[in-house]
Structure 1
């Protein structure tokens, strides 16, 4: 059976997170994974922790290269890709494939797709979609063992200069994802997503509270002890002085009580759900999938669940959570709640009678 040699990577394209373009020739002796991604794709973001795990497990024999092949026009801008690398703390080299030439050469059809290249420069596998860490781990382990026996693997760590080393995040806010104003209480709530915290100020900008330690994590407790992970959308209950937060990368909903100055997890387990079909359960025992925005009507909180392409509903009085609208298919389908389909809904608002959803993709 003939083997297919991996097409060369262009050297004259923009390269980020590295001090020089990388060639497959220079990476001979290493396992290489090309991650075809685009920064507005929630599925592409979901695989980043898996890639970080693999990089840390095989630092001396694996190189991951992100091939950023844009879906939308604005994603072709190099500076936008650089900012996405900083926002999501990506630690491997990224080739900006704005014209999708590399995408076409490797016959890619979906985001994300992984092309596995062996230490001799041949394509030995292709995997698409999220949740593939164990599959990739097994392939990498077998390739290392095989090429150790052949004497064709070169164990050595490869270092590069990352964008965050060139452009440290020293600003008061880092990639704030959402903002909420309440004129009645003269308060402005800012999801300081890159710093993993919530900043509360007056409408004039005087800081009143900083909620969260600034470290990524899932910890309840006082404003100083609590930890968030890239929080996004918020909704405020002025009567009870409670702010509800979509804690996106913790796959959880959090409650900030300004009377007791405590943070509490009210939905989600901290682990991402892989179940897409409509379902329900006890809120604290049910896995969520990248909740991106929330809005409160009475005792109900509606959730833009970006990762599962659905709208969800949390009943505060019963502590139950369930799918409200969307089949889980990534599409644009109008119709009844059970027939409709969304594609990465990321914003939600209400006039009290109807919900309005920003259906991002």
Structure 2
């Protein structure tokens, strides 16, 4: 027998006799096990819950002899398939990892298509870092009865715990290029908030063809694991640690970043959400009510905020400003994907689930302050000081970390549903209905953890069925359109919607996550109607149109902002009044006049912004006090009274501005000699016009909305998928409210001060400019 055969035979015999997957040790070298390597310095642990798959060319790092006999080596190891039946071929084309590498330079090819990807993904995959592939979880036909939300939660958890671990999804099959399947994957990305890229391929690979699994590559070359549903997530956490992901090092790098770099990392979102986030609502997932106060609390989940509005749709308040984890005033507080909520009338507080932060938050609606109930360590404010605040702003302070160093499978992980029991405890359930946490409402401590859907029904079935009874009052066809098969337990088809509906007086209110709207159903007549929102100025400028001021000041950069208009002027120093006249797209109309809260202005360089109050009141910098007194006397003496100058005139003036299909924004700056720049951003709430003739081509409307929002980074496959998603809503798309971002930059080249005749005084010149902007596309 050849030396290599002797080595493999000895290895295999030793493997069959040991429960651990470490069959053989080389002297002062790596540990080899069925197609991969382990470093000897690593602590040996039991990974018996994982199945090792020898992939083609997995042993190339030993020497050329092993490369030449790679197929023979796999034949000797074929007996190890007693755990999982996997067929392997020696055909190089079946090399899964080689195929992934061959697709990195093209988003779409004859055998593949990337979704939710961007340039950084390609570079990171080529660096040779540890790669985890989640395969076979993205189509209904490939799930095979397993719960896709459960495995996606695991992958997202690993992504949070190990920032240097690169994760991707993979789906193979002959139907993945169909528009139906592609739109299903895009919808899943938005619903589950998947931030890693997904590769679709019509090629079949034996390693991933049968059942959903994880495949873990070390240095993008060697060791591969197979992990099916049913194993505890802790096993997979240990496997990632064992392969060598440097979690501590990644945290050290994180702590020395600047504040705007931290902001960029926190706001990492699914790449495909760049389209859907410009809708008024982006996956409105959960809702609750204050019956006596006629208030509704909507979790606008993928916008990371909770909208407070009354029964008529008038927006009253907004909790949350941007994605992150931060307590404080509603305008500055941060959360990530809020879900179910519960209003406590006695305290006038709203308790809600902060899903991606694995937290329970409490919003005091009286003082408008948000605080964290769980994890309790985040409520410890005793160490706060000015120095702590400075260190946090510099990115050098203690990082808020909701994940413990040692993985705890009983800790709160991706909670979604929230119910209050009779003993002042919270029942918290994750979206996959895999785990129930019982939490003390006063202290925020977890008292009990229940695993398994059957056990969850035994413990909290009374409150779950109470929620389902509300849904049963709705027409069956309306419910069927909302059922999410990826997060609905078997045997209870509407359980996934228990947090998506509530009652308000004689109406049932339900979140339509497909149509991105809120429906109101009259209990007596059964008539459906859409809640028409108003008062958008309360929402302010969306976070994705804003940037930290230090970044704007130093570089003038805005996160992902596309400049709609850039114009330069050469003027004398002094006050400059700027008026923006914006033409909205011809086939759209403003939902309501632009409010001041939806506008953001900033001046940098040799210019300083004049406040809006000063603009409206007028400036009198060049006029002395005595002259102002005489002017006031003159105005009193010669002023002709104009009766009935009431608020109605102001409303009429506003309406006239509103009806001329133009948006007017005023801005003023004081300038000195030099160069400067004025940045103006705004959020325009629009919807398509309804033509006089009866044109009901919804597909044309969907394509038009997509063109207006201008997702120039999407390919044809993603564009077709978005159109299908909009059509799936089964609504008149001319009623869909969306945000058209406005980004204008005015560059000013200010000359030197002109001199007066006595050469002593500096003359300031007031100027006014008009900037015309067209958003027609």
Query: TM-score, normalised to structure 1's length?
Result: 0.65
Give yes or no for the alignment of 1:38 onto 2:140. no
Q: CA deviation at 1:95?
A: 2.2
The aligned counterpart of 2:214 is 113
Q: 1:309 — aligned with what? A: 434
**Cα distance in 1, alignment partners of residues 218 and 351 from structure 2:** 45
User: Deviation of residue 207 (structure 1)?
Assistant: 0.8
Structure-2 residue corresponding to 1:170: 278
Who is 2:323 aligned against? 215
Cα distance, 1:256 vs structure 2: 1.2
Pick from 293, 318, 321: which aligns with 2:446? 321
Query: Residues 91 and 254 of structure 1: is their aligned pair in 2 closer, same or farther, counting only changes over 3 Å?
Result: closer
The answer on whether the counterparts of 1:51 and 1:133 sit within 8 Å (CA) in structure 2 is no
CA offset digits 1:58-109 (Å, max 9, x no partner): 8xxxx65311479xxxxx8322321333455545431246x9x757543664
Asked whether the equivalents of residues 426 and 441 of structure 2 are also in contact (C-alpha less than 8 Å), the reply is no
The answer to whether the aligner puts 1:250 opposite 2:382 as a matched pair is: no
Alignment check: 8 A CA contact 1:293 1:348 kept? no
Alignment partners' CA distance in 2, 1:237 and 1:29? 51
Count residues with an aligned counterpart. 301
* 1:199 Cα offset (Å): 0.8
Q: Aligned residue for 2:183?
A: 79
TM-aligned CA distance change 1:119 to 1:247, over 3 Å: closer
The one of 403, 408, 419 aligned to 1:274: 408
The residue aligned with 1:296 is 420
In structure 2, C-alpha distance between the alignment counterparts of 1:36 and 1:313, rounded to whole Å = 33
Q: 1:104 to 1:175 in 2, by over 3 A?
A: farther
Distance 1:333 1:33, change over 3 A: closer
Per-residue displacement from partner, 1:131-157 (whole Å, max 9, x unpaired)? Answer: 545633653679xxxxxxxxxxxxxxx
Q: Greater strand share, 1 or 2?
A: 1
Cα distance in 1 for partners of 2:118, 2:366 equals 50
| Inter-partner Cα distance in structure 1 for 2:367 and 2:159 | 39
* Superposition pairs of residues 122-137 of structure 1, within 5 angstroms: 124-126=224-226, 130-131=233-234, 132=236, 135-136=239-240
Residue in structure 1 matching 2:310, options 199, 202, 220: 202
**Alpha-carbon RMSD:** 4.4
Larger radius of gyration: 2
Any stretches of 5+ residues in structure 2 without a counterpart?
A: 1-7, 9-34, 36-53, 57-94, 101-108, 139-147, 174-179, 247-269, 377-401, 473-491, 497-777
Whole-Å separation in 1 of the counterparts to 2:447 and 2:196: 37
- 1:146-176 CA deviation, whole Å, 9 max, x = no partner? xxxxxxxxxxxxxxxx843873622232222
Mean Cα displacement is larger for which, 246-255 or 307-316? 307-316
TM-score, normalising length: structure 2? 0.33
Asked if the contact 1:229–1:248 (Cα under 8 Å) also holds between the matched residues in 2, the reply is yes
Where structure 1 has 5 or more consecutive residues not aligned to the other structure, the ranges are 71-75, 143-161, 277-286
Contact conserved, 1:118 with 1:124, CA < 8 A, in 2? no
1:178, distance to aligned residue in structure 2 (A):
0.8
1:226 aligned onto 2:368:
no
Shift of 1:182: 3.6
